[in-house]
């Protein structure tokens, strides 16, 4: 039996079980809903993922089925007014080597092209990664399942994201070398370059599956540079996890669901995460045959809070089974959809809802069937209007594209939302004809107005991490996200020295410096200006590590390393015969390789800690300076040790 059908039956059973009366939640008066198109199979069937806005202001999306070569799916373009064009029908090539069954949203990149995944097709029939132009030219970058049992993964069910390094990151639901019974591997996390070079980063379900298995939802990159995601199953209670992954693929489980009685913290997180402006991550759990899903908050360090349990109201008028990720709108609230619940279709058609970061939920729209059912994820258009897809319902019961306005103001979208001084970024929006200025947190930038919906701007010298503003003759538009100005370190001096010395660090975009590390330890520092920071080498600093600076725009480390020299501050006793145990105090003694007394090498010494060494006065000792040699250099005492 089809797994999706089984899940649907389970959901309907829970709705019946939880329903008691028919209390509805009123939608806000300002809500304006419009069905833009009903799919008819030839132009697609079963809209999934979400639409995205292109450089031309049109919306682009996918259907999992239908098209010119049914049932393999399509990529389409639709105007905000509802004119639909099929750009590509999958399985246009023999044996579907171009892919089949796309199941996740497209990713827009700076050149205006889109990247995406298919769960089937490709050279091995088990999924692919592709690039497509706005004109509909598709190129397959990678086909999954290379080798026995698909160690590189298969069935990439999630959308790609572009990391700050320019590469693409994603997950597969199956494959890899992780073991989980008969599930054909627990999925992988991967990186792929724009040119198609593939690297597996992590195998899920390793060992006892404490890291999770089946990462349906893909990844999000946090402001700390790490990646965050969910696994639908696995973990300490086999109910799914939230995990963190470094850019090198080291995974840490932040939370295992069903950690409290009756799984009141949620179970089976099918959807991905969003990092809100408060720095926390927000997500949803799908629920199971006894619960109807939940919304939660988790910090990047793993502090978890359940903020809402769906079907808390009679007849599940607040919605049930939130299958899709949350998005944060310009009003600071989070918006999402539920696949069931609400007041339409006897509580089975789903909802659009708004939830505050504190967990106050309001149903924004109830689907009625004729306007769609089982909504997919939302997308916030720069006009302030939400757009979305439904997998069923509409005029032909094959899914719809819809728009939903809740009164939010227009804004601009940045592509990407980070960069260094001198970088050129894309800005998407509306009303750009006659634009008069662009500023980065108040710092004016040069710009090129390409069209009414698209322009480019160069990150200016002195730019600060903050909101980007586009000004026209009649109004101004602010970015929906903060632009992070990436700091740069160009040089530092001196390149070596002992604990306590001052190091001058020169670079770009250093005004918002929040932290400096030297030798892996936090250093006290002073911001001189946007291009200079001074810092004091801290106690415990290790030799041969990079100097790193963290600003509001991210963390950057120097190209070269800093040599931490040892320093002798005192020793006791100050005199004695051969064989005397002398305690030497100072800094950076870790790794000491030699101690001498007046040139005589001590044959017996030990490093107590980074600030203390003990040595026996050797038979070759002479009255003179004590020296301690480490990988960072040689420290010499200020006074003599007297051999008696």
Give me the residue spans of the domains in the chain.
3-16+33-405, 419-484, 487-564, 566-643
DSSP letter string, 303-359: -EEEEEESS-SGGGTT-B---S--EE-TTS-EEEEESB-SSGGGTTS-EEEEE-TT-
Peptide bond preceding 628: is omega within 30 degrees of 0, i.e. cis?
no
Element (H, E) at 536: strand 532-536
Query: Which of these, 276, 263, 254, lies nearest to 306 by C-alpha position?
Result: 263
Q: Count the Cβ atoms, other than its own, within 10 Å of residue 94.
A: 7
> Phi and psi for 112 in degrees, rounded to 5?
95, -10
Gyration radius (Cα) of the chain, Å: 30
C-alpha–C-alpha distance, residues 477 and 472, integer Å:
8
To the question of domain 566-643 being in CATH 2.60.40.10, the answer is: yes
Rounded (to 5) percent helix, strand, coil in the chain? 5, 45, 50
C-alpha–C-alpha distance, residues 401 and 154, integer Å:
29
Please report, for residues 12, 71, 88, 101, the alpha-carbon distance to residue 399 in angstroms, rounded to integers and kept in the order given: 19, 14, 18, 15
Q: Residue 80, exposed/middle/buried by CB under 10 A (0-12, 13-18, 19+)? A: middle
Cα angle, residue 424 at apex, residues 418 and 429 outer, rounded to 5°:
80
DSSP letter string, 476-526: EEEBSS-BEE--EEEEEE-SEEETT-EEEEEEES-TTEEEEEETTEEE-EE
Q: Is the CB of residue 231 less than 8 Å from the CB of residue 176?
A: no
Q: What is the pLDDT of residue 74?
A: 97
C-alpha–C-alpha distance, residues 369 and 345, integer Å:
6
Which CATH superfamily is 419-484 part of?
Answer: Immunoglobulins (2.60.40.10)
Q: pLDDT tens digits, residue range 430-484?
A: 999 989 999 999 999 999 999 999 999 999 999 999 999 999 999 999 999 999 9
Q: Is the CB of residue 337 less than 8 Å from the CB of residue 377?
A: yes
Length reported for the chain:
644
- Bridge partners (DSSP) listed for residue 517: 522, 548
The list of the chain residues with pLDDT below 70 reads 1-30, 179-184
Query: Which of these, 347, 283, 289, lies nearest to 318 by C-alpha position?
Result: 347
Peptide bond preceding 416: is omega within 30 degrees of 0, i.e. cis?
yes
The three-state secondary structure class of 205 is: coil
DSSP letter string, 136-187: --EEEEEES--STT-TT-B---S--EE-TTS-EEEE-SB-SS---TTSS---
Indicate the CATH number of 487-564 among 1.10.287.810, 2.60.40.10, 3.40.800.10, 1.10.3210.10.
Answer: 2.60.40.10
Q: What is the pLDDT of residue 371?
A: 96
Q: What is the pLDDT of residue 180?
A: 52
Taking the CA of residue 419 as centre, how many other CA atoms within 13 Å lie in the half-sphere pointing to its CB? 22
C-alpha–C-alpha distance, residues 632 and 481, integer Å:
44
Q: Answer yes or no: same fold for 3-16+33-405 and 419-484.
A: no
DSSP letter string, 92-149: -SGGGTT-B---S--EE-TTS-EEEEESBBSTTSB-EEEEE-TT--EEEEEES--STT
Q: Is the CB of residue 169 less than 8 Å from the CB of residue 138?
A: no
Please enumerate in sequence order all residues whose Cβ is within 8 A of that of 3, keeping only pairs 6 or more positions apart, or say none: none
DSSP state, residue 466: B
CA 405, 406, 410, 413 torsion: positive or negative? negative
Q: Count the Cβ atoms, other than its own, within 10 Å of residue 493.
A: 11
DSSP state, residue 408: P
Q: Count the Cβ atoms, other than its own, within 10 Å of residue 231.
A: 31
CATH fold for the domain made of 3-16+33-405: Methylamine Dehydrogenase; Chain H (2.130.10)
Exposure class string for 622-635: b at 16+ Cβ within 10 A, else e:
eebbbbbbbbbbeb
Element (H, E) at 443: strand 443-445
Element (H, E) at 9: helix 3-18
């Amino acid at each position: 039996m089809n797994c999706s059908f089984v899940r649907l039956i389970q959901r309907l059973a829970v709705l019946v079980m939880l329903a008691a009366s028919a209390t509805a939640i009123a939608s806000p008066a300002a809500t304006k809903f419009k069905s833009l198109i009903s799919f008819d199979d030839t132009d697609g069937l079963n809209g999934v993922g979400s639409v995205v806005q292109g450089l031309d202001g049109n919306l682009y999306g996918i259907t999992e089925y239908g098209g010119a070569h049914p049932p393999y799916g399509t990529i389409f373009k639709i105007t905000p007014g509802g004119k639909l064009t099929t750009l590509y029908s999958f399985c246009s090539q023999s044996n579907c080597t171009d892919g089949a069954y796309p199941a996740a949203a497209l990713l827009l990149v700076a050149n205006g092209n889109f990247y995406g995944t298919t769960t089937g097709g490709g050279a091995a029939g088990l999924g692919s990664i592709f690039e497509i132009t706005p004109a509909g030219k598709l190129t397959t970058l990678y086909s999954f399942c290379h080798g026995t049992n698909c160690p590189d993964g298969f069935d990439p069910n999630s959308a790609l994201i572009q990391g700050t390094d320019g590469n693409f990151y994603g997950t597969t639901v199956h494959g890899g070398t992780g073991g989980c019974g008969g599930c054909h591997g627990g999925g992988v996390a991967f990186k792929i370059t724009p040119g198609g070079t593939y690297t597996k980063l992590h195998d899920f379900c390793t060992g006892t599956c404490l890291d999770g298995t089946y990462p349906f939802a893909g990844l999000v990159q946090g402001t700390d540079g790490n990646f965050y995601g969910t696994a639908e199953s696995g973990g300490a209670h086999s109910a799914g996890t939230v995990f963190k992954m470094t850019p090198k693929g080291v995974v840490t489980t932040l939370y295992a669901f069903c950690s409290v009685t009756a799984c009141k913290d949620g179970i089976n997180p099918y959807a991905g995460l969003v990092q809100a402006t408060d720095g926390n991550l927000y997500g949803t759990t799908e629920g199971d045959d006894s619960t109807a899903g939940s919304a939660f908050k988790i910090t990047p360090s793993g502090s978890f809070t359940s903020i809402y349990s769906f079907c808390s109201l009679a007849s599940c008028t607040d919605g049930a089974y939130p299958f899709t990720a949350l998005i944060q709108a310009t009003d600071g609230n989070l918006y999402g959809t539920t696949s069931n619940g609400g007041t339409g279709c006897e509580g089975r058609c789903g909802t659009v809802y708004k939830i505050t970061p504190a967990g106050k939920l309001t149903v924004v729209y109830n689907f009625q069937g004729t306007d769609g059912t089982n909504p997919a994820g939302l997308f916030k258009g720069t006009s302030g209007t939400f757009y979305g897809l439904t997998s069923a319902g509409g005029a032909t019961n094959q899914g719809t594209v819809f728009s939903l306005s809740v009164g939010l103001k227009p804004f601009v979208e940045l592509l990407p939302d980070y960069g260094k001084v001198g970088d050129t970024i894309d800005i998407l929006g509306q009303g750009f004809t006659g634009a008069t200025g662009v500023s980065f947190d108040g710092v004016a930038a040069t710009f090129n107005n390409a069209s009414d919906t698209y322009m480019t701007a160069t990150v200016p010298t002195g730019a600060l991490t903050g909101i980007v503003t586009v000004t026209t003759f009649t109004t101004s538009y602010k970015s929906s996200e903060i632009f992070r100005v990436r700091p740069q370190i160009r040089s530092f001096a001196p390149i070596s020295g002992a604990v306590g010395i001052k190091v001058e660090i020169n670079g770009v975009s250093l005004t918002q410096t929040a932290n400096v590390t030297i030798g892996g330890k936090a250093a006290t520092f002073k911001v001189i200006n946007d291009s200079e920071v001074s810092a004091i080498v801290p106690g415990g600093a290790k030799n041969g590590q990079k100097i790193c600076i963290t600003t509001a725009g991210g963390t950057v480390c120097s190209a070269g390393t800093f040599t931490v020299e040892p320093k002798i501050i005192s020793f006791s006793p100050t005199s004695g015969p051969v064989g005397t145990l002398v305690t030497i105090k100072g800094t950076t003694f870790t790794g000491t390789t030699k101690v001498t007394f007046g040139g005589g090498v001590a044959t017996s010494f030990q490093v107590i800690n980074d600030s203390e060494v003990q040595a026996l006065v050797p038979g070759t000792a002479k009255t003179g300076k004590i020296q301690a040699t480490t990988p960072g250099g040689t420290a010499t005492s200020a006074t003599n040790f007297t051999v008696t």
